[in-house]
Amino acid sequence: MNYKDQIQKNRIPRHVAIIMDGNGRWARRQGLARMFGHRQGVKTVHTITEVAAELGIEYLTLYAFSTENWNRPKEEVDALMSLLVDTIAKETPTLMKNNVRLSTIGDITRLPENAQHKFQTCIAETSQNTGLHLVIALSYSARWEIIQATQEIVSAVQRGEILLEDVNEEMLSSYMTTSQMPDPDLLIRTSGELRISNFLLWQLAYSELYFTECLWPEFTEEEFYHAIVDYQHRERRFGKTSEQIR
Ligand code: FPP
């Protein structure tokens, strides 16, 4: 039986986060420039977004560009920014067709102006859609996010708007860029690397982790279904015992 048929429709993860890794290696293995891998990676983004919408996943968060990625060679950074801009412009009709709402997390102000503008336009255009919420992490790092949240809380305490003893998990979550969404149920990382790489460190506390050797450009629908089926076989205890869960 294929993985699609094994999916239990009543146990679909609400929020799936993905570290899309391996574009460069995929290209290099074929003697191609790294950008070919990123372009192929966009095709995977298209496929996985459609599948996620079809499965009824509520939130799909994709790590597209980390704070650390700004340190890549300038030509690659520039080419990635152009690819993102072109993709967003080109994919907006598909997002509309699939009732997908787009948003971003990260320090968008570091992006070139045309990229900021394209994203804002697509976010506004898709804002009334009620299906899958597609969240693109751009110029994002979890440590940056935690520092931002800490600074805001400290200054609210200094202004006397909140009391130090009121700072708790719920409050910290409300200061994160993900405040409007549930924590990821499932984190997928492609390309065989076994790291979190500064992604959603606060939010992943109880997420199920799924690592695959598959490189992002070759991550297919069936690979995605495999990850979901694997997730559905996990027992999520959140620190409790098996008996308590059952
Ligand atoms: C990791 O591969 C991938 C990235 C840094 C960029 C991901 C971007 C895309 C898939 C394109 C656009 C995305 C959207 C949401 C439109 P890598 O370069 O680190 O690969 P490597 O580890 O093999 O070098």
Q: Is residue 76 part of a domain?
A: yes
Q: What are the tokens at 36?
A: 């070919």
Provide the 10 A C-beta neighbour count for residue 92.
Answer: 17
36, 24 contact by CB (below 8 A): no
Q: Is residue 42 part of a domain?
A: yes
User: Is 69 in the active site?
Assistant: yes
pLDDT in tens, 71-121: 999 999 999 999 999 999 999 999 999 999 999 999 999 999 999 999 999
Q: Is residue 105 part of a domain?
A: yes
Provide the 10 A C-beta neighbour count for residue 146.
Answer: 15
Q: What is the pTM of this model?
A: 0.96
Query: Of 69, 107, 198, 230, which is the active-site residue?
Result: 69
Task: State the residue for tokens 């298209």.
Answer: 46
If one counts the domains in the chain, the total is 1
Q: Is residue 169 part of a domain?
A: no
- Give me the CATH number covering residue 32: 3.40.1180.10
Q: Is residue 30 part of a domain?
A: yes
Give the structural domain span for 49: 12-141+183-233
Query: Of 2, 5, 21, 183, which is the active-site residue?
Result: 21
pLDDT in tens, the chain (246 residues): 799 999 999 999 999 999 999 999 999 999 999 999 999 999 999 999 999 999 999 999 999 999 999 999 999 999 999 999 999 999 999 999 999 999 999 999 999 999 999 999 999 999 999 999 999 999 999 999 999 999 999 999 999 999 999 999 999 999 999 999 999 999 999 999 999 999 999 999 999 999 999 999 999 999 999 999 999 999 888 888 888 877
User: Is 71 in the active site?
Assistant: no
Q: Is residue 207 part of a domain?
A: yes
| 136 close to ligand 1 (CB < 6 Angstrom) | yes
Q: Is residue 188 part of a domain?
A: yes
Q: Is residue 244 part of a domain?
A: no
